[in-house]
Amino acid sequence: MSGKKIRVLMSKPGIDGHWRGGIVVSRAIRDAGMELIFGGFQNIQQIVESAIQEDVDVIGLSIHSGAHFAYTKQIIDLLKERGVFDDIMILVGGVIPARDFPKLKEIGVANVYGPGSITSDIVEFIKSHVKK
């Protein structure tokens, strides 16, 4: 890897207030030396615009609302429409049933993390899959 830091946008689509997991993962990403852009609550358009403007390598989505398919698919579709989907890895985390993980991966998510995920595993996945 070159000297350029991995840039990660951490965002929460919708208005669900469950932030604990997103905060824990954000801190782990920052502490691992990656550049963290904390988007907070953003709509789909704002997430994609932030990702493009900030030239991120990864979008981390914290989704707990049960709308994980809808939000994720809308973001992926918009990234494809803007021509940047192949440049940005999508990770999804939250209270998501394990039976939904394969379908999220089918639509373009690189990996899915549920409750109890180990932050060092998330960091290692990012480091080993982002091409810098």
Q: What number does CATH give the domain 1-43+57-68+97-102+111-132? A: 3.40.50.280
Residue 1, pLDDT > 60, answer no
Q: What is the DSSP letter of 107?
A: T
pLDDT digit string, tens, across residues 33-62: 999 999 888 899 999 999 999 999 999 999
Nearest to 93 by CA among 106, 108, 104, 80: 104
Residue 82, pLDDT score: 97
Residue 68, pLDDT > 70, answer yes
Residue for token digits 């965002």?
Answer: 11
Q: Do residues 124 and 32 touch, judged by C-beta distance below 8 A? A: no
Q: Do residues 33 and 8 touch, judged by C-beta distance below 8 A? A: no
How many DSSP H helices and E strands does the chain contain? Answer: 5, 5
Nearest to 79 by CA among 106, 49, 100, 53: 49
Q: How far is CA 36 from the centre of its chain?
A: 11
